[in-house]
Amino acid sequence: MAGEIYKKPIMFAIVSAVVILVGTAVTMFIPMMTAQMHPKLEDLKPYTAIQLAGRDIYQREGCNNCHTQTVRPLKTEVMRYGEYSKAGEFAYDYPFLWGSKRTGPDLARIGRKYPDQWHYRHFEDPQSFFAKSNMPSYGWLKDNLLDPIDIKRHMDALGFPYTDEDISLLNGKNELDALVAYMQIIGASVGRKGAVRSKVQLDAHEMENPLAGDPAAIEAGKGIYEENCAVCHGGNGGGDIGPSLVDNVFLYQEGDLEDEDYFEMIYNGTEEGNVEAGRTMKGGMPDFGEDLSKDEIWSVIAFIRSLQNK
């Protein structure tokens, strides 16, 4: 009886198609509608009005053509960019902006890595931060004011919660403000915890700068400083985006720190809440441990000490 269907090719094709469709629905489509297939991280929140506007500008300008927003669970990627991406990070991304090409670096962990002022300056003149960067300038975005009514329509379409006050806060804001706001929220639900490499902590025998006062090291440190540090701390260490390095205030308290403290902060960067020599960091400085050798970091410190006349 069962073998009769094999003698009827049309009936066999119809029955096969029905069975395949039922199996596909049971194994794929129905599970896709369940809550566990759409996880949300505990700290994840819908985009605010200005963050959503910035995301729209990010898409409009094609930023995802050069930057990815996903860190694969590979050791090399986690060491370079930070914690690997989680499905629950993208619950409010319509569409997702993972990208597929890294002409520029991955941005999945860019949120809160730098202060706002860093992003404003970088968008206006990328080459002043990274001389070999081929990223165009986006300073002109500050000449374009946001349209609160248009952004409200986008929030309505996506079902994002907002109040009239949220929309009114967009008055007077420009597209560059929005893009910076979006940069600061990317990956913030995961943050940079567990991020890059192991944090360095110097042993007792390593705490003194072996290059202190060495003229050659000071000259080499000057070049490294100008390439990596001057854009935030100023050419003479007087401060700009970052704090001054030549006054008597360090990590928001009076009094200098030892060379080993300088080394650990340059190597590890500063993360909000971390403590160095009993002083609490506010974050905003990236780590340079992957980019600079120990001798190069000591050379930078020797140069900073020369600026301080120490």
Question: Which burial class, exposed, middle or buried, applies to 193 when counting CB atoms under 10 A from its CB (0-12, 13-18, 19+)?
Answer: exposed
The answer to whether the CB of 109 falls within 8 A of the CB of 189 is no
Residue 145 tokens read as: 């004011």
**DSSP-derived pairing of the beta strands 249-250 and 253-254:** antiparallel
The helix (H) or strand (E) run that includes residue 254 is strand 253-254
Per-residue pLDDT at 194 exceeds 50: no
> How far is 244 from 250, CA to CA, in rounded Å?
8
* Token pair belonging to 152: 């409200």
pLDDT over 80 at 193, yes or no: no
User: What distance in Å separates the CA atoms of residue 190 and residue 207, rounded to the nearest whole number?
Assistant: 33
pLDDT of residue 135: 96
DSSP conformational letter for 64: G
Instruction: Look up residue 279 and give its DSSP letter.
Output: E
Digit-coded pLDDT (tens) for 291-305? 899 999 999 999 999
Residue with tokens 């600026």: 307
Amino acid letter, 74 = L
| Whether the Cβ atoms of residue 260 and residue 217 lie closer than 8 Å to each other | no
- pLDDT at position 195 is 44
**Total-model pTM:** 0.77
pLDDT of residue 232: 92
pLDDT surpassing 80 at residue 6? no
- How many Cα atoms occupy the beta-carbon half-sphere of 195 within 13 Å? 24
Give the pair of three-digit tokens for residue 67. Answer: 């930057």
262 near 236, Cβ under 8 Å? Answer: no
pLDDT in tens, 64-118: 999 999 999 998 888 888 888 988 889 899 899 999 899 999 999 999 888 999 9
198 pLDDT higher than 90: no
